[in-house]
A and B are shown apart, each in its own frame.
Chain A
Amino acid sequence: MTIAPPRTPTDARSAFFDARPADSAAVDLSVRIGSLTLANPVMPASGCFGPSLGRLIPVTELGAVVTKTVFGTPRGGNAAHRLTEIRAGMVNSVGIPSRGADGYLAGQHPLYLTLGVPVIVSVGGHRSSEYAPVVRDLRGAGDAYELNVSCPNLDRHGTDIGSDPDAIEKVVRLVRQETDKPLIVKLPVLVSSIADCARAAEAAGADAVCVANSVPALPLTADTRSPVLGNVIGGLSGPNIRPIVLRLVWLASRAVQIPVIACGGIETTDDALDYFSVGARAVQVGTASFGRPYAMVEIARALQERCLAAEVADIGRLIEIWRA
């Protein structure tokens, strides 16, 4: 745990670090992802966190961190502009720049290891056979792997791995041969059956599914009606996808026994509780961290406070109370 103590007591960041609540023995927020136990169910969405954010927030209060997606070989990312804001959402076409597995191990991973929480390494590939070699090349680095089969910004020449249950099954099966560590499969929004995709992941040995990635979208400029993004299309995220993803999480949770990790427009504790109430067992926060760097930690703290206030031991019982 190497987060530097706040340098001065005169900024809100310092006060936020100082306000760390005591862990309560009366509340258990832990969640199991396969063999990995997270102290609480709050973590960043892949691509919306990096060790540099770790300097602004007490990362040890999160259940885990998730890395930006690592590919087997270096990728440069897409042309500018890479992001834009629309009403109640943002659209990004960053295109997952990656230094490759070796570059990640040499550059980023040591920084992640200093954060003092489990590190979930997001892994990408351009085709279903590319994921397992990346996991092999990571040589055991990371506490779990999130298989990103759903980035809307990659040109797959018409083959979208994450919307094809057979392809999902193949990816997971091949990766499972490389590692015993927990595997999370991050699914896309645009699928004909999220239940079939989640079941395919579960059947092939995944320990959780993450629902969902950003939504493919095409933002235009207001004046010239030309594409804003250098890549033309991007992934829509933020509060305006929340009802869409809530439905998907609800469907996926009814289809599989493994945990469903919700990811889609979560900004507040109530947003997170919405997802828990439709079956999610953990949540990822992405876009909200840009405007409020502390949003994730605030949610983790508030989940404990809500349980304490309701005098219940965990989130499951908190939700039962409302339904009683």
Chain B
Amino acid sequence: MPGTPAETPAVLAARDALAALRRQQAFAAADEAALDGLIAVRPPARTPRPDPVWDDAPVLVHEVVGERYRRLVLRTATIATTALAGQFLMITVPPKGGERILLPRPMAIHRRHPEQGTVEVIYGVAGRGTTALADVVVGESLLVTGPLGRGFEFPDAALPTATPSAGPGPQPARTALMIGRGVGVCAIMGSVEDAADQGISATVVLSGRSRANLIGLADCAELGATVIPVTDDDGSSALPALGERLRARFAATPPDVILVCGAGVLARLAAELGSEWDVPVQVSLEAHMACGLGYCHGCAAPVATDPAVEGPLVCVDGPVFDAVLPLTAAAGGANAAG
């Protein structure tokens, strides 16, 4: 009861913390539930996966980005020249200030700079591992393993054909819609690079809490991608608003593929749009991992399978999966989303 002697500042603070936790739990549960029935393993890739290596990668840049994130530039020539869009690294956190982190942390490769032999990684400081990682300074080296996993791949329909005039076939389609939220933007940025290289027109939704916390604005500008920035503080990132905005924008000509990462609810929105437009949707997932190579079997993907058969693993069967709206949801998807 407000005003009673028991209402000390400490009690009030604890109550606020509890309420915040409840909101966070509710959000996390909804985000996880949004992936239900959505995830399917992608068919075999056209491009063979590069062999992973491990490397002692010197830290060339380690800087704060926005209010919540940090950007690492790592020199690791082999990985920079071989990594495919949407692949990830396992980064081993060196011992710092008495803290020892045992398991490497999976992180998406945000940018590849093969000419400089460098890659960029952006991460949020969230737990023990990333807190210790934040203490690494320029000049130190990080043990990195990669490139790992199944990345994003433009479907044939989104690839410009080599000889567009040959035959009366369908007009080669050349547009992609990418949707990223928070550090999830990093997983899709390699595809923005690929789109720039391959002449595919990229429209990139960058979602975050506020403008200052949007990742990828400068990258998209450099790569010539069209950006749709959306944020929580002005309400533009809210699902119905974003959905209507994208439906209006692509009403005449839908994109040829949708790539998404960073939130389960965005993956579901992408799957709904994909269903309405009849275009494929690929989603990159996160998971707790130990090895990143498949041998520890620690990162079961959220795919319902026969209990006697092991389901797909996020590290080797993903992190990129197809996102396909379940049939029942697809039937009412357009209405439900509106």
Q: Which positions in A face B, CB cutoff 8 Å?
A: 4, 6-8, 10-14, 47-53, 55-56, 68, 73-85, 87-90, 92, 94, 97-99, 223-224, 238-239, 287-294
Contact = CB atoms under 8 A, between A and B. Distances in A.
B302 interface: yes
Given A68-B295, A293-B54, A76 B305 contact: yes
A82 B293 contact: no
Contact of A82 (B56, B76, B288, B305): B288
B306 A94 contact: no
A94 B313 CA distance: 12
A243 to B, nearest CB: 16
B299 interface: yes
9 contacts: A10-B78, A12-B54, A76-B305, A76-B308, A77-B310, A83-B290, A92-B296, A239-B102, A291-B101
Contacts of A50: 291, 293-296
Interface string B100-138: 111110000000000001000000000011000000000
Contacts of B128: 85, 87
A271 B51 CA distance: 31
B65 interface: no
B143 A292 contact: yes
Given A11-B54, A11-B77, A97-B310, A52 B100 contact: no
Contacts of B307: 76
B145 interface: yes
A92 B298 contact: yes
Interface in B28-68: 51-56
A202 to B, nearest CB: 31
Contact of A52 (B102, B129, B295, B298): B295
B20 to A, nearest CB: 10
B21 interface: yes
A287 B297 contact: no
A82 B300 contact: yes
B310 A290 contact: no
B104 A4 contact: no
Given A76-B309, A224-B21, A292-B92, A94 B103 contact: no
B290 A290 contact: yes
Contact of B129 (A8, A83, A85, A89): A85
Contact of A88 (B25, B100, B300): B100
Nearest to B314: A80
A213 to B, nearest CB: 15
A56 B102 CA distance: 18
A194 B55 CA distance: 41
B311 interface: yes
A179 B316 CA distance: 35
Given A88-B102, A224-B25, A13 B53 contact: yes
Contact of B102 (A6, A12, A77, A90): A90
Given A11-B54, A76-B307, A68 B297 contact: yes
A90 B55 contact: no
B92 to A, nearest CB: 5
B331 interface: no
Contacts of A73: 308
- For B25, B103, B117, B310, the residue with the greatest tally of chain A CB atoms inside 10 Å of its CB is B310
B297 A89 contact: no
Given A90-B102, A291-B92, A77 B297 contact: yes
B293 to A, nearest CB: 4
B298 A83 contact: yes
B102 A11 contact: no
Given A76-B309, A81-B288, A90-B290, A291 B104 contact: yes
A2 to B, nearest CB: 13
B12 interface: no
A56 B145 contact: yes
For the complex of A and B, the 4 pairs showing the least CB-CB separation, nearest first, are A50-B295, A97-B310, A52-B293, A11-B78
Contacts of B77: 8, 10-11
Contact of B308 (A4, A74, A78): A74
Given A8-B78, A292-B143, A287 B102 contact: yes
Given A48-B296, A74-B308, A99-B310, 8 more contacts: A11-B55, A11-B78, A56-B52, A76-B305, A76-B306, A83-B289, A85-B129, A290-B102
B296 A293 contact: no
Interface string B269-307: 000000000000000000111110111111110100111
B300 A80 contact: yes
Contacts of A78: 300
Contacts of A4: 51
Nearest to B287: A80
Contacts of A288: 102
Nearest to B77: A10
A6 B291 CA distance: 21
B300 A79 contact: yes
A83 B102 CA distance: 12
B288 A83 contact: yes
B309 A74 contact: yes
Contact of B145 (A83, A238, A293): A293
Contacts of A290: 102-104, 290-291, 296
A78 B300 CA distance: 9
A59 to B, nearest CB: 12
A16 to B, nearest CB: 8
A74 B308 CA distance: 5
Contacts of B300: 77-80, 82
Given A12-B56, A50-B294, A290-B104, A84 B305 contact: no
Contacts of A98: 310
A23 to B, nearest CB: 24
A151 to B, nearest CB: 13
Contacts of A87: 128
Contacts of B299: 80, 82
A47 B294 CA distance: 11
